[in-house]
Structure 1
Amino acid sequence: MKSDEQTSLLTRRTSRTQQQSVRLSITHQSIRDIERISQNAHRLVQEVNDTDSVNGLLGCEDDYSVGSGIDEMFDDDVPVSGGRGSVTQSDLDYLSGEASSNWDEQPNRNAMLVDRMGEQLLQANDIESEARILRKSLKLDARSIPSSFDLEDDETNMQEHLSTRQVSDRVHESTRALRSKMLTTSQRGSRAALLEMMQESDEEEKPKPLLAPTKLQILRLLSFTFLVMLIIYMLLKMGTYAVGPPRLPIGEYKIVEAQVGHQFFMYYDFYSGKDSAGSNGYNLYVSREVADKEDIVKVVTEVVGEDDMVEIYEDEKEMEVDWLLEDLEFLEDLKRKKVDEMREKEVDVKVETEKKKVNETGAGMKKSTAKSVNGKNGTRHLQSATRLEAFNPDLPVNGTLTNNITETFVYLSSSSSAEGPRNSIRLEGRRRFNRGLFIIDLRHMPAGCGTWPAFWLTDEANWPVNGEIDIVEGVNYQDTAKTALHTTKECRMDDVPEGSKTGTWDTAVGIPDKKTGIPDMTFRYAEDCFVYDPHQWINQGCVATDLKLEGRSLGVPLNNNGGGVYALEWDPTNTHIRTWVFSPHGRVPRNLRDAMRTAQNVDESTRVAPDTTKWGLPYGHFPIGDGTNCPAEHFRNMRLVINLAFCGSVAGTRYFMDCPKQYKQFKTCEKWVASDPDELKEAYWKIRGVYVYEREWQKQWV
């Protein structure tokens, strides 16, 4: 055969001649059977000129020769030499195709032998039948069949069959291996030996079944997986160390905005219009042009008199350490006071008298001022020399000090309006923040009945989603500093470390029940920052109040002390928001004072970085961020706002409680403010400066 197509066509011809259906798609196993048997005999015919060995291998009886087997199976005259009972040299020559003179002249007969050989091999179930069929295949080895053979056109799917030459050639290869096995056994001519070797050959060719993985294989697979993961981990580690640690805002504070003097307004925009719906203040915010015309915004420079100067202590180290010691002593006094109150009902008159003495001593300490720091109250025992200085004097002109030391302030006030609401100021910062240290140095803040001043951080367009932080806020005659946070749900302050602050929480008592309207007199602290918490006042938020300077850190008392300094540290990386108040200025930590005094220095190396660890304990401590009950994402994208509102949802609501004298004459806060009383002349901001710091970004492993 010269092609697969000719073999397929011959197969169709044979099927019609034999008048039986022979399946054309011979399986691979059947092909291997043909190869195996043909190769065994052909190898012996070509290389072993031994008729007895051939007969033994083919499993023939003594009376069954190669040539006679062919005559018997096909019932036609085949020129074969030799008699029955042995394989002669002529038989061997005929099988090898060397002695046949008319082989090429009988293509039809040869084709028939091929087809019958294939069909019978599929049906053969014993070695004798396979041997007889094999003898036929050898006679057609290396022969070709004419291409002019008559074919039918109705059968077209006759492909993928091997030609006789292809089958025979592959058969010869495997025969050598079988013959080698035959020669090594003592039962060379035994039919049983042949059968055993044929079965072994079948088993070798069969595909081995898939076995379940052994424990060793599983262990190897796990070890390989672990090794791969270890390599990947090491590569990632090496890459991480090559790139370096992540950048985090954990360095020292650097000034980003020093809002002082005439430069103050470059950091803000003037908002003009009505107050927001949430505040609903009785005021109209005006533009810069209107404010200038009304003379309610200006920058003023004043000479610092001796009465306005502060005592500066020479011993820095003693001062730095003493702030923390003083705060710790204050906390111990609070604990002792609470213990005394718990025993109040159990003590006799003598113990009661001793308790009153302790309380009087505590009250005296609370009323001390900066100039009585070295007094007899025992809170501080500094023997260092002091000197008087302006707290934050103006920079000298051209580096030369003048005889008169001056300080410059920003003045923000309000004015009455014929239309009704009072004209006022609202400044909105131009920069957005997500962290920072915010400091305001005040000489005076708005105070009095009906006032509602605030210095705060907000993103009103996304309120309360992005939160709100009230740094300084007061209404009416409030005299104690407070810091409030306002957020959406899931921001509680019930995990504040003990001893981390000198303040306490505002209270929420008498909240009306939403269904019955009956006030709930349960005592609760305002520790939930959610603006609509059902157990707190609407928009109360979580509110920290000052205890150390209680009654002297806001409003009128603060102004009488010459003002003070407020600072708020918003540090999500270190998981907290903290707030301080220092009043009067003589009680401001030296590190904080020096930071503000040098914030405008052209030479950055001479600027002092504020260090909050040297300021003592804050009065407000709000845990935020990882590991707390308030995610840091509650506070973001906020800007500074400075404003002065009147009445509204807070000051107006509390008007009848906070202003009983005014309430007798004016039944509403709005009527009181509209009357333009002289008291409102004290409703103004006098700001020495606002200082905003942010931590430097540094690479560090967390």
Structure 2
Amino acid sequence: MLTASLLILSLAVAVLAGNHSSLRRHHLEHARSVEERGKTYTLEVKYQGNDFLDENQWSYWDGADPSGGQAKYMSRKNAVNDGIAYVQADNVAVLKVDNTNDLAIGKARHSVRITSTKTYNGGLFIADFKAMPHGCSVWPAWWSVGPNWPSGGEIDIVEGTNVLTNNQLTLHTASGSGCTLVAQSPASGSKAFTGNVVGTNCADPSNAGCGVVDPDTTSYGHGFDANGAGGVFAHRWDSNGVKAWHFKRSEIPPDITAGAPTPSTWPEPVVFWSSDNCDVGAHLYDHQLVLDISVCGWAGGTYPYSGCPGTCEQAVAHKTNFDNAKWMINYIAVYQ
């Protein structure tokens, strides 16, 4: 048993150690914030208009849905011929699901999935969408993925199903990565982002990942389309981790519009997957950007609770369910 003097000494050492650890975390966060304030970004590439039809820049998945959905993805040639990939007169690129044909129940519906030919190991990514896909049985996503999934990791910036109103953002890493999502800032103990946590294990063996749901009902689906011609999703991936934001059209920061983004001046992100809890350099690498619109799959799993009528397979059969199943893309820009 410790004597009183030894007990007091050990408590003092513990307090000093705790204070040292807290001060170290505080200094680390301060150093990061100074680095972020001093960071300037240079435009690397801006995809716009016909860039999304250029197979030197974006490849078109041709075949069955690798995510287990009921989509039949079309080649670039067939997607253009079918009228589900095109560029409008205002230079807005459109990628959509076929909404001109009724189908037999169980038959796959034509859709589009494109992947950037260029790979990335970080950067500031800004996607300006005029509209996003939604509707019964619809499962769209804007994301990036590394090689040999899940070894290279996956970052889901936009994802949802059916007629949901709130976007979900998720990080997936390989089993054994140790990557987790922690909502509180180590230095202040306050919440580090605005999203609602739905998973904390990024390497969840069920593939659920570590995700958050954006509390803003203009972040997904009809609410996004109806709030004033869409908005912007931005995410910054660097040695500090990955932060992501959503801005409705009326609230896009002027520095984004000016082509000189300054994330340090933006409000709190929707999510921050901090490098304190995940070695992003080891578990996120060589990512390609992906835009797709699947049907059923995850949307089939959530369909019984979606408020949509009948079954997911029945919804796929009816063309009118896909009148709003389209990405309308003003641009996607990558800064370094």
How far, CA to CA, are the matches of 1:298 and 1:265 in structure 2?
A: 7
Contact 2:128 2:233 in 1 (8 A): yes
Contact 2:103 2:316 in 1 (8 A): no
Give the match for residue 639 of structure 1. 288
How far, CA to CA, are the matches of 2:48 and 2:121 in structure 1?
A: 22
Instruction: Kindly tell me the number of residue pairs found equivalent between the two proteins.
Output: 287
TM-score (norm: length of structure 1): 0.40
Give the match for residue 303 of structure 2. 655
* Structure 1 residue 675 displacement after superposition: 2.8
Give the match for residue 62 of structure 2. 272
Deviations 1:568-621 (A, max 9, x none): 11112xx121000011x11111111211xxxxxxxxxxxxx3110111111111
Deviations 1:67-124 (A, max 9, x none): xxxxxxxxxxxxxxxxxxxxxxxxxxxxxxxxxxxxxxxxxxxxxxxxxxxxxxxxxx
Deviations 1:144-176 (A, max 9, x none): xxxxxxxxxxxxxxxxxxxxxxxxxxxxxxxxx
Any idea what SS the aligned residue of 1:636 has?
coil
Give the match for residue 529 of structure 1. 202
Any idea what SS the aligned residue of 2:250 has?
helix
Contact 2:171 2:211 in 1 (8 A): yes
Give the match for residue 437 of structure 1. 124
Deviations 1:232-269 (A, max 9, x none): xxxxxxxxxxxxxxxx9985211111001123333201
- Could you say which structure has the greater relative contact order, defined with CA pairs below 8 angstroms and 6 or more residues apart? 2
Give the match for residue 289 of structure 1. 77
Q: Name the structure where helix makes up a greater proportion of residues.
A: 1
Any idea what SS the aligned residue of 1:692 has?
strand
Identity %: 31
How far, CA to CA, are the matches of 2:149 and 2:162 in structure 1?
A: 25
* Structure 1 residue 418 displacement after superposition: 5.4
Structure 1 consecutive aligned stretches of length 4 or more whose deviation exceeds 4 Å: 248-251, 416-419
How far, CA to CA, are the matches of 2:193 and 2:315 in structure 1?
A: 38
Give the match for residue 412 of structure 1. 95
**Which residue among 316, 328, 331 is the counterpart of 1:686?**
328
How far, CA to CA, are the matches of 2:226 and 2:330 in structure 1?
A: 16
**Which residue among 486, 509, 515 is the counterpart of 2:172?**
486
How far, CA to CA, are the matches of 1:502 and 1:494 in structure 2?
A: 12
Pairing 1:113-132 to 2, within 5 Å after superposition: none
The amino acid of 1:494's aligned partner reads V
How far, CA to CA, are the matches of 2:149 and 2:322 in structure 1?
A: 30
* Structure 1 residue 640 displacement after superposition: 0.2
Give the match for residue 237 of structure 2. 570
Give the match for residue 589 of structure 1. 253
Q: Please, which moves more after superposition, 290-299 or 492-501? A: 492-501
User: Residue 423 and residue 658 in structure 1: after superposition, are their counterparts in 2 closer, same or farther (change >3 A)?
Assistant: same
How far, CA to CA, are the matches of 1:282 and 1:440 in structure 2?
A: 26
Any idea what SS the aligned residue of 1:447 has?
coil
How far, CA to CA, are the matches of 1:450 and 1:559 in structure 2?
A: 18
Any idea what SS the aligned residue of 2:88 has?
strand
How far, CA to CA, are the matches of 1:669 and 1:500 in structure 2?
A: 37
How far, CA to CA, are the matches of 2:102 and 2:203 in structure 1?
A: 37
The amino acid of 2:238's aligned partner reads D
**Which residue among 606, 616, 620 is the counterpart of 2:267?**
616
**Which residue among 436, 447, 451 is the counterpart of 2:134?**
447
Contact 1:409 1:686 in 2 (8 A): yes
How far, CA to CA, are the matches of 2:117 and 2:141 in structure 1?
A: 17
Contact 1:417 1:423 in 2 (8 A): no
Contact 2:138 2:294 in 1 (8 A): yes
Give the match for residue 86 of structure 2. 298
How far, CA to CA, are the matches of 1:465 and 1:288 in structure 2?
A: 28
**Which residue among 35, 42, 56 is the counterpart of 1:254?**
42
Give the match for residue 556 of structure 1. 222
The amino acid of 1:262's aligned partner reads N
How far, CA to CA, are the matches of 1:623 and 1:251 in structure 2?
A: 18
Any idea what SS the aligned residue of 2:42 has?
strand
**Uncovered stretches (5+) of structure 1, i.e. residues with no partner:** 1-247, 303-407, 507-525, 533-537, 596-608, 695-702
Give the match for residue 674 of structure 1. 317
Give the match for residue 423 of structure 1. 110
**Uncovered stretches (5+) of structure 2, i.e. residues with no partner:** 1-34
* Structure 1 residue 545 displacement after superposition: 2.0
User: Residue 495 and residue 655 in structure 1: after superposition, are their counterparts in 2 closer, same or farther (change >3 A)?
Assistant: closer
How far, CA to CA, are the matches of 1:557 and 1:493 in structure 2?
A: 27
* Structure 1 residue 295 displacement after superposition: 0.7
Give the match for residue 540 of structure 1. 208
How far, CA to CA, are the matches of 1:618 and 1:635 in structure 2?
A: 20
Any idea what SS the aligned residue of 2:193 has?
coil
How far, CA to CA, are the matches of 2:52 and 2:77 in structure 1?
A: 16
Contact 1:577 1:621 in 2 (8 A): yes
* Structure 1 residue 417 displacement after superposition: 7.3
Contact 1:591 1:610 in 2 (8 A): yes
Pairing 1:442-481 to 2, within 5 Å after superposition: 442-459=129-146, 461-481=147-167
Any idea what SS the aligned residue of 1:492 has?
coil
How far, CA to CA, are the matches of 2:254 and 2:313 in structure 1?
A: 43
User: Residue 288 and residue 542 in structure 1: after superposition, are their counterparts in 2 closer, same or farther (change >3 A)?
Assistant: same
* Structure 1 residue 671 displacement after superposition: 2.4
How far, CA to CA, are the matches of 1:253 and 1:284 in structure 2?
A: 38
Contact 1:496 1:621 in 2 (8 A): no
Q: Name the structure where strand makes up a greater proportion of residues.
A: 2
Pairing 1:228-243 to 2, within 5 Å after superposition: none
User: Residue 530 and residue 293 in structure 1: after superposition, are their counterparts in 2 closer, same or farther (change >3 A)?
Assistant: same
* Structure 1 residue 499 displacement after superposition: 3.9
Give the match for residue 629 of structure 1. 277
The amino acid of 1:546's aligned partner reads D
User: Residue 654 and residue 418 in structure 1: after superposition, are their counterparts in 2 closer, same or farther (change >3 A)?
Assistant: closer
* Structure 1 residue 484 displacement after superposition: 0.3
Contact 1:469 1:486 in 2 (8 A): yes
How far, CA to CA, are the matches of 2:102 and 2:62 in structure 1?
A: 15
Contact 2:53 2:85 in 1 (8 A): no
How far, CA to CA, are the matches of 1:570 and 1:688 in structure 2?
A: 22
Contact 1:591 1:614 in 2 (8 A): no
Any idea what SS the aligned residue of 1:652 has?
helix
Contact 2:156 2:171 in 1 (8 A): yes
How far, CA to CA, are the matches of 2:222 and 2:102 in structure 1?
A: 25
Deviations 1:636-676 (A, max 9, x none): 1110011110001x11111111034x12xxxx312220232
TM-score (norm: length of structure 2): 0.81
User: Residue 413 and residue 571 in structure 1: after superposition, are their counterparts in 2 closer, same or farther (change >3 A)?
Assistant: same
